[in-house]
Structure 1
Amino acid sequence: MKQVIIVRSDLKMGKGKIAAQACHASIGSFKRTEEDKIRKWELEGSKKVIVSVNSLDELLEIYRAVKEAGISNYLVRDAGHTQIPAGTITCLGIGPDDDEKIDKITGDLKLL
């Protein structure tokens, strides 16, 4: 079991901004995950992997695949208080879910 957070590298967000957006993605997706998967994930150490994509189009393509696969997810839209305009999609939280299920979609992405 793991959770994957995908960050858009094309936005050139600062490190703190990336951390905050990744947290939003993690919590948002976590809240949409079935209880049995959450328990299993927590028992296994709550693994999280942070990866990046180069564009909104790439992120949305993955988002569609995740939805189609029935994996819990959360698409983060920034509030616009600091570095980027309001409504900008910054991250995608995926899972937690089975490693193999998530890896079929995100396995080729580079670590952040």
Structure 2
Amino acid sequence: MKQIIIMRGDLNMSRGKIAAQACHGSLGSFKRADSNKIRKWELEGEKKVVVKVNDLQELFEIRELVKKADIASYLVRDAGHTEIPSSTVTCLGIGPDDDEKIDKITQDLKLLK
């Protein structure tokens, strides 16, 4: 079991802003996940992986694949109080769900560094 947070690589956000947006994605997706999957994920250590895409279009393409696979997800839109304009889509939280199910969609994405 794991959770993936996919960050946009084309936004000029500070490390702190990235961390905050990733947290929004993690919690938002967590709240939408099936309770049995949440329990199993918690028992397995709550694995989270943060990866990146090049731009908004790539993020939306992955979001559609996630929807078709019936995996819980949450699209984060920033409030615009600090570094980026209001309603800017920053990331997508996915899961928690089975590793294999998520990996079919995200396995080629690079880790955020």
Equivalent residue, structure 2, for 1:69: 69
2:97 corresponds in structure 1 to: 97
1:86 offset after TM fit, Å? 0.3
Please report the RMSD computed on the Cα atoms of aligned residues, expressed in angstroms: 0.3
Task: Give per-residue Cα distances to partners, 1:67-103, cap 9 Å, x unaligned.
Answer: 1100000000000001100000000000000000000
Normalising by structure 2, we get a TM-score of 0.98
Q: Return structure 1 stretches of 4+ with deviation > 3 angstroms.
A: none
* Structure 1 residue 12, shift from structure 2 partner: 1.6
CA distance in 2, matches of 1:13, 1:53: 14
Flag structure 1 segments of 5+ consecutive residues without an equivalent. none
The one-letter amino acid paired with 1:111 is: L
5 Å-filtered alignment, 1:39-58, equals 39-58=39-58
Matched pairs, number: 112
Equivalent AA in structure 2 for residue 21 of structure 1:
Q
* Secondary structure at 1:10 match in 2: coil
Structure-1-length-normalised TM-score: 0.99
Equivalent runs, 1:1-112 vs 2, <5 Å: 1-112=1-112
